[in-house]
Amino acid sequence: MKFKKISLAIAFASVSTLAIGYVPGTYEASYPGISGKVPVKVTFSKDKIEKIEVGANKETVGIGQNAIKSIPMEVLKNQSLGVDNVSGATLTSKALLAGIEDCAKQAKADMTLLKKKAKEQKMMNKVEKLDTDLVIVGGGAAGMIAAINAAEQGIKVTLVEKMNFLGGASAICGGSVVTEGSQLQKDLGVKDDSPAKLAYDLLDNGHQKNDMNALLFYVNNVGKSIDWIMSKGVKFENDFSFRAEWRTPRMVPLKGGCPAFAQTLRELVAKDGVNVLLSTKAENITMKDAKVVGITAVNSQGVKYEISAKSVLLATGGYGYNKDMLKGMLKDALYYGPVSSTGDGHKMAEKVGAAMQLMDYGKLYPQGIEVAPGIAKSTLQGNIGAYNQAGILIDKKGNRVINEKGSGKDMVAIQLKQPKSTLYLALDQKSFDGFKDYARKNGISSVDIDKWLMNDGKVPPYFVKGDTIEEAAAKLGIDGQNLRKTVDRYNSFVVNKDDKDFHRQLKFMTKTIDTKGPFYIIEQKPRFATTLGGVKVTTKMEVIDQNGKTIPNLYAAGELANSVHGDDSAPGANVAWCITTGKTVSDEIALKLKKNRR
């Protein structure tokens, strides 16, 4: 096993000195993170942790990998296991700390002393003043793209991010992007798409609740924004993904998914010399003479920043992780988004009079599994792999309820009417294998799935296996005899090339379901990450106040202004919105700043 050195003979000044003795030597341990085992190797002298090395692992770039870098450094610096998990990378943090603890036990350490919380040295009275052209609050896709584009145009940019890594929701998104009007769409054979066609689909999907200013901004700028992001090195697959919400083929997956997308943006931010303040939370927008002139912020060490800026761009994401801001059905849906989505930008904007809209709405998806109380993982990609074979979606009675390749919003509408808002994937072996293979794209490993199957339906997430259809169904209280009839009926549709019940497209009905067994069933619950409420904006993404006037020098991008979608966002539209707003808003800001210099 290859180990990557996290620390060589680095001398850290301990924040607190603990008299702990060890049996000198090097010890190894391995514990499961979010994407498999995380191996660690720890070297001890008789009175010190000398070195921590982390072996090969599959933790997420920019999230889990950030914990892999920072946790060992904190343990070495403090000579203590009493360090905080990295926010947003809790499972990786826990795996690392468990591995280091295991090694310390092998070295006969006094665990009570070793686990004492390290004393933090806060600099509560230190104030640092900064001056910049543009301050961007939020380091997700929209914020990073805006920073890259503005910096390349000679704008002095400061990017403030409360987490200790860049990425936000962009590192864990679905991975597909709307490409209307781009050269990519044309190269893939679609040359007759238009802003009007895209607007029509978005209005239809959002039930005409869409913010029309934002919608006009979106449809008129998305194509050239996709062209730009590709010129910066972001790569796409060479084919469209089918989704029922789009009448025209325009959605293309990112190559390597969102983790690769986010990593490319991080590298560009570093390359372009943007001043990035991590672990720094913006607190207030600074006003002078009724104009925005900067922000105040504080970092994790207690340093306060007073940042003067000619323009402020809020790109802080949504509010899905803030239960106090959620309403209606979102209160009970499983959440699978980033822990950073707590509505900070919404609250900052409201303090300076910004008008808000559609705060009751969020994007619900039907493919969720409950991996912790109230917390979901997406099985979107796994479901696609299952439906490519012969997977079907059923209710508690064992009945098919919908075209499995229909629109997500129609599926959610059916799901919400079920007991406990629950549906079930019913899978033969080939469909289960398809699910397992594709689920990796959502960060669900084979190790995870095998572990959940071992629980045999006793605790969530509910994954069960039976030698027969009836045996699998019984484990989740589903009517097995009726399910067998449903399977036989579906198979007759495949043979006769006609889904008489729900009109599933024939290209997704090429295989019958094997009735001999084994058989698998996976629970499906509503999940959400994306909130749709946000600030009102002009067609230049300037923030509008409650009197309908612009708040001078204040702009919004990404999920903070997500009312562009109405009450439901279509597949691929969120990532494209972040790309479009990040690129085009920074163009608007750069143009204005350059004019003011003359």
CATH number at residue 80: 3.90.1010.20
- Whether 8 has a pLDDT exceeding 60, the answer reads no
DSSP summary character for residue 450 = H
What are the C-alpha distances in Å from 297 to residues 143, 146, 208, 259, 275? 16, 20, 37, 28, 14
What are the C-alpha distances in Å from 91 to residues 78, 379, 501, 516? 21, 19, 43, 38
- Taking residues 37-45, what's their average pLDDT? 91
Residue 119 confidence (pLDDT): 63
- Is 311 in contact with 134 (CB distance < 8 Å)? yes
- Whether 437 has a pLDDT exceeding 90, the answer reads yes
Do both 322 and 386 map to the same domain? no
Which of 530, 580, 595, 566 minimizes the C-alpha distance to 168? 530
Spatial distance between the Cα atoms of 394 and 222, rounded to a whole number of angstroms:
37
- Whether 388 has a pLDDT exceeding 80, the answer reads yes
- Taking residues 261-280, what's their average pLDDT? 94
Do both 295 and 396 map to the same domain? no
Residue 121 confidence (pLDDT): 58
Which of 578, 568, 523 minimizes the C-alpha distance to 243? 568
ω into 552 cis (within 30 of 0)? no
- Is 202 in contact with 566 (CB distance < 8 Å)? yes
- Whether 283 has a pLDDT exceeding 90, the answer reads yes
- pLDDT more than 90, % of the chain: 72
- pTM for this model (two decimals): 0.80
β 157-160/519-531 pair status: unpaired
Residue 295 confidence (pLDDT): 98
Spatial distance between the Cα atoms of 52 and 7, rounded to a whole number of angstroms:
6
Spatial distance between the Cα atoms of 128 and 482, rounded to a whole number of angstroms:
69
Spatial distance between the Cα atoms of 145 and 229, rounded to a whole number of angstroms:
8
Read off the tokens for 199: 């607007």
Place of tokens 């309403």: 327
CATH at 408: 3.90.700.10
Rg (CA), the chain: 26
Do both 285 and 408 map to the same domain? no
Spatial distance between the Cα atoms of 273 and 56, rounded to a whole number of angstroms:
30
CATH at 192: 3.50.50.60
Do both 211 and 149 map to the same domain? yes
- Taking residues 291-298, what's their average pLDDT? 97
| DSSP-assigned beta bridge partners for residue 201 | none
- Total tally of structural domains belonging to the chain: 3
Residue 123 confidence (pLDDT): 64
Read off the tokens for 242: 């089918």
Residue 120 lies in a domain: no
Contacts of 186 (CB under 8 A, 6+ apart): none
Residue 119 lies in a domain: no
Residue 408 confidence (pLDDT): 86
| Region for 371 from its dihedrals, namely left if φ exceeds 0, alpha if ψ lies in -120 to 50, beta otherwise | alpha
Spatial distance between the Cα atoms of 383 and 380, rounded to a whole number of angstroms:
5
Do both 292 and 236 map to the same domain? yes
- Taking residues 90-95, what's their average pLDDT? 81
pLDDT, the chain, mean = 91
Confidence of residue 299 (pLDDT cuts 50, 70, 90): very high
Residue 4 confidence (pLDDT): 42
Question: pLDDT tens digits, residue range 307-334?
Answer: 999 999 999 999 999 999 998 888 888 9
Residue 60 confidence (pLDDT): 67
Q: Is 489 exposed, middle or buried (0-12, 13-18, 19+ CB in 10 A)?
A: middle
Spatial distance between the Cα atoms of 139 and 382, rounded to a whole number of angstroms:
29
Do both 83 and 190 map to the same domain? no
Containing structural domain, residue 169: 127-361+532-597
Residue 122 confidence (pLDDT): 61
Spatial distance between the Cα atoms of 324 and 73, rounded to a whole number of angstroms:
35
Do both 545 and 471 map to the same domain? no
Confidence of residue 59 (pLDDT cuts 50, 70, 90): confident
> Amino acid identity, residue 234?
V
Out of 339-348, 368-377, 395-404, 511-520, least confident range: 368-377
Residue 66 confidence (pLDDT): 75
Residue 121 lies in a domain: no
Residue 387 lies in a domain: yes
> Amino acid identity, residue 587?
D
- Whether 94 has a pLDDT exceeding 80, the answer reads yes
Compute the half-sphere exposure of residue 314: CA atoms within 13 Å on the CB side of its CA: 36
Spatial distance between the Cα atoms of 103 and 86, rounded to a whole number of angstroms:
21
Confidence of residue 391 (pLDDT cuts 50, 70, 90): very high
